Each structure stands twice: as C-alpha cells, then as structure tokens.
Structure 1
Amino acid sequence: MSAAFFKGLAASLSIAVGYVPVAVSFGLAAIYAGFSAPMAVLVSVLVYAGASQFILVTLVAGGGTIAGVVGIVFLMNLRHLFYGPALAPRLGGKSRRLPALALAWGLTDEVFATAVSALHRQAERDREAWYMGLQLGAYASWVGGTAAGAFFGQDWIKDSDILMQTLGFVLPALFFALLLEIKPLVSAGVLWAAGVAAGLALLVLPAYGAIVAGMLAGVLYALRRA
C-alpha cells in the first residue's frame, strides 16, 4: 500500500476519537434493545450510519415495520446525496482510477468534512489512496467501537455515571472541530444560511429534516452568490 494511504489512515485518528465512544454507546443501546452482540456489530458493518443506527434499533425494538424502518433511516441519510458531487472534483475529477462505489461506501459527515478540508494538501495522484485510508480508519473505529460496546461495554461503564453522561457530548464536539477546519473554505454567508435554516427547521422538523433544510439553504445561498 502507498504512503498516501497510511497518511489518510493517520488522518482518520481525529475522527476515531469521536467515533469510538459513540459507537460503544451504540453497542450498548443495541444490547439493551434486545439485539445480540453479533447482530449489533453486523448493523454497524452493513448500515454504518451513525445516529440513524440508534433510530434503527429503537424502531426495531418497538416493533416497527420493515418499510417504516427503512424509510426513516433513508430520510435521515438523504443529506449524503449532496456529499458525493461536492467531493468528486476534489479527488481528481476525470482522472480518478477507483470506481465511484469504492469512494462512496465510507462517506460519512465527518469523513466528508475532513476530506474537504485536507484533500487540497495532497498531491492529485495521491488523493484517492489518502481518501481510502481516511475512510477505512473511520469505518474500522466505528465497527470496533460497536464491538467493544456490545461485547464488553456493560462491564466497563455500568458503574460510571460520569462517563455515560459525557458520551453524548463527544460527537457534537467533533462536529464543531470539523466546522472550524472547513470554515476557511466556505464563505460565512453559506455557513450562516445553513445554520439559521437548520435552527429554524428544528422547531418544526426532526433533526434529520433540519439537517437537510440547512444543507439546501447553504446550497441555494452559494448558487445565488455564484
């Protein structure tokens, strides 16, 4: 494997710091919802959708229909449709060597933000390898954290109230750090438009709907200013 791949793998450590605690809590949540430990890990292996996985296990445990579960999880992740077209030109455009599916499988919010802020610092010939390392590192940390939570987490944190209370803070803190990284690359107007729209939408929509509304507002503002 190339040096660029390992550089991407190293860059994923900042994402892993946020992913592992949340993934551990997902493993625990899945066990409490009645999933077996192997099934909890399988959800992370196949779905790999962060907050959507918490919704998924809750719906399944509550007796939700297959159509309902799939529909809600799909809507929560609809924002990812915007990520690919925004990231593809930064990976080399027409000179890309890997198929789109290989580049898309690990494209999460955090991977997208990290890639957008760092890809321009990589030589164009190294960008795909670097990005694959970034994806793999983030994915491995999420699946590994889920396995730790599902198989061992109850013994680790059942007596630690402080740790349980801080788990929910880790991922928002990671998002804030990533926002600081991409701020120099995005105009203040786009960020304000997205933030205000998402905040207002949150008053009447669930969180995933507010995220989509914020993204649309940011895109529309950017197009208007182009």
Structure 2
Amino acid sequence: MNDQKELFRTGLKDSVAIVAGFIPACFTFGLVGKGLGLGSLEVFLLSALVFAGASQFIGIKMLAAGAAAPVILLLTLIINLRYLFISLSFGGQLNRNISYLARTWIGFSLTEEVYAVSMLTREKANPKSVNEKSNQPLELPYLLGLQIPPYVANLLATASGITLASYIPAFYLPALNTSLYALLIALVVPQLKGSLRNMAICISAAGSSWLLHPLLGNSSILVAMIIGMAVGSLFRVRVQAEKGVSL
C-alpha cells in the first residue's frame, strides 16, 4: 500500500510540467471555440471527450464552418492516427495485471507529453532496485498520478477560456500556446544527449516532415513518424549486430 501511494505521489510530481503546458493551450481552446460562435457546452464537451490537442482545434473550426459530422470524424481519425504508434509502444510498457477498465482510462488520457514523461522517468514508477528499473513495467498508481492532473487541468482551463472569451483580445492567442511547444522541446532534448540513435530518429523525422509538408500537408506528420521508426529500427539492428547478437 505504501509503495502504491509513493508511486501515485511520484506521478503527481511528474505531471506538474505537463499541467503547466496544458493550461495555456486548453485556455486558448476555450477562447477560440467561443470566438468562433460555438456554444459553451459544445466547446467544453469537445475538450472533455476528444482530449487530443490539434484535432480539437480543427474540430471546432469545422463545426463553426458547418462541416458534416462524418467529415469531421474522418479528419479527426486521420489526425489522431499518431496515437496508434504511441499506444503500440506504450502498451508494451504497462504491467500486465492492469485491468481492462484501467487500460481504457490510460488509453483515453494518453498524450504525447504523458508518453514522453513516463519514458523519461520510468525508473520512478517502480520501487525496485536500480539494476532492475529499466526492465520494470509502468504501474497503475504512477499512471493515475501522471494522467489525472493534466486531464483535470484541461477541463478547468477550457472552462476558464470559455468564461473569459469576451475579455481576452484575439491577438494574444498565439502567445498562449508557446508554453506547450516549449514543454515538448524540453522533453525531447534530454533524449538526444549521448544517443546517436535518438538523434538520427529526431533528424530524420523532423527533416522528412519539413520536406514533405508542402506535398502532404498535415499527413506529413504520419509519414515522418514512420520514417523515424524505420530509421530507429535500422539503427538498433546495426547496434545489435555490432554486439554479436543474433537477429
């Protein structure tokens, strides 16, 4: 029981950076939704039920433009395909004893930031010895502590944005999102230090996204993820071969 409480507290501590990045972005979402003329309940439910960053902003813009529901759902599905890659990796890190109900919550509230933080601080999620920590799965108490605060912050910040929409000038909106980008950069940079493989993944994914964006638009992100995965897999094979590991 004490271990579970400690894991939960560790998750809460690790969630602070995510919450700090979510608040301005979700606040902006509430402002934008109301600024487009949507109802307060519509904007709030989009934030509460979708909880997927970019697709929320696209969804409210398409709703405001009068787009058909199937079109909005299809575009949202395409944009959120990135979570397929994230969840495939993340699911393999979970403790197998976690129930399906709990996994449903974990999957729903999984974001890029949660994934990055949990991978960076995975050793904090299990009170095992230092020599074993890299092989230990992520435990439910830790993930609850890590994922609940960002979701609550998402709801509160969205509600605040909706409430204060008529008082905030529109030209302030771009500045409110910079903290989320700064958070993502801060999570990625430590992974690049001392890791040639991670550096290769980052450069190949970022470079391909930049080069392909004029041709593919937002779909270039998905292609860039696949390219980054391919580069990382090849790099790993090369490292294993050098160590004499049979493939």
Aligned residue for 1:216?
226
Rounded to whole Å, the distance in 1 between the matches of 2:23 and 2:71 is 28
Change (3 A) 1:165 1:71: closer
Q: TM-score, normalised by structure 2?
A: 0.81
Given the alignment of the two structures, is residue 72 of structure 1 paired with residue 68 of structure 2, yes or no? no
Matching of residues 16-95 of structure 1 within 5 Å: 16-92=19-95, 94=96
Aligned residue for 2:15?
12
- CA shift digits 1:90-111 (9 cap, x unpaired): 223x3x3232323211111111
Q: TM-score, normalised by structure 1?
A: 0.88
May I ask how many residue pairs the two structures share in their alignment? 220
Aligned residue for 1:174?
183
Matching of residues 67-216 of structure 1 within 5 Å: 67-92=70-95, 94=96, 96-99=97-100, 100-123=103-126, 124=136, 127-155=139-167, 157-158=168-169, 161=171, 163-184=172-193, 187-207=198-218, 209-216=219-226
Rounded to whole Å, the distance in 2 between the matches of 1:72 and 1:97 is 32
- After TM superposition, what 4+ stretches of structure 1 lie above 4 angstroms from structure 2? none
Rounded to whole Å, the distance in 1 between the matches of 2:177 and 2:6 is 35
Rounded to whole Å, the distance in 1 between the matches of 2:230 and 2:138 is 32
Rounded to whole Å, the distance in 1 between the matches of 2:99 and 2:12 is 18
Q: RMSD of the TM alignment (CA)? A: 2.0
2:48–2:155 CA contact under 8 A, matched in 1? yes
Any gaps of 5 or more consecutive residues in structure 1? none
Aligned residue for 2:131?
none
Whichever of the two has the greater Rg, that structure is: 2
Shift of 1:125: 7.3
1:4–1:130 CA contact under 8 A, matched in 2? yes
Rounded to whole Å, the distance in 1 between the matches of 2:234 and 2:137 is 33
- CA shift digits 1:128-183 (9 cap, x unpaired): 2111211111111111110100012433x33x95x434113222212111112333
Q: Which amino acid is 2:122 matched to?
A: L
Rounded to whole Å, the distance in 2 between the matches of 1:126 and 1:202 is 35
- CA shift digits 1:180-207 (9 cap, x unpaired): 2333575221122111111112222223
Rounded to whole Å, the distance in 2 between the matches of 1:168 and 1:106 is 20
1:5–1:133 CA contact under 8 A, matched in 2? yes
Shift of 1:120: 3.0
Rounded to whole Å, the distance in 1 between the matches of 2:165 and 2:9 is 29
1:119–1:127 CA contact under 8 A, matched in 2? no
1:110–1:175 CA contact under 8 A, matched in 2? yes
The DSSP-based 3-state class of the residue aligned with 2:150 is: helix
- CA shift digits 1:6-38 (9 cap, x unpaired): 321221110111111111111011111222222
